Amino acid sequence: MEEREEGVMRAFRESAPDEAGLVQRTWVNHLAWTLVVLLCGLVFWLVVALINAENQRNALMNMQCRDQVFKEEIDRQCMLGVQSREHWWEHLIYAMKHTKPQK
């Protein structure tokens, strides 16, 4: 090689990235992804709880679970399995739109 070519190759080698340090795994990335997964799990759990609460609230408002013997009481077994709307997402949409109690 000529001296000029060696100079170009030396400059190229020095400007190339350090391949050993390109992929570093630090605990910061693990902590961030762990927090993302935990927060997604928390949001999922809260959405399921909100859907269940809205389902039961709507059943109470529409009197779908009245006791057969005592008309003023609530049938608790009915409340565990009642479906007051056709789909779960209808409960979620209603609960997200109506954040204040009705007067």
| Amino acid at residue number 58 | N
Question: The pTM is what?
Answer: 0.68
Domain positions in the chain = 43-103
- The CA–CA distances, whole Å, from 86 to 33, 58, 92 equal 36, 12, 12
Taking all residues of the chain, what is their mean pLDDT, rounded to a whole number? Answer: 86
pLDDT at 102 over 90: no
- Please provide residue 66's backbone torsions phi and psi, each rounded to the nearest 5 degrees: -75, 145
For residue 23, what pLDDT is reported? 66
Reported as a single tens digit per residue, the pLDDT across 2-39 is 787 887 787 777 776 766 666 666 666 788 899 999 99
DSSP-assigned beta bridge partners for residue 61: none
For residue 94, what pLDDT is reported? 94
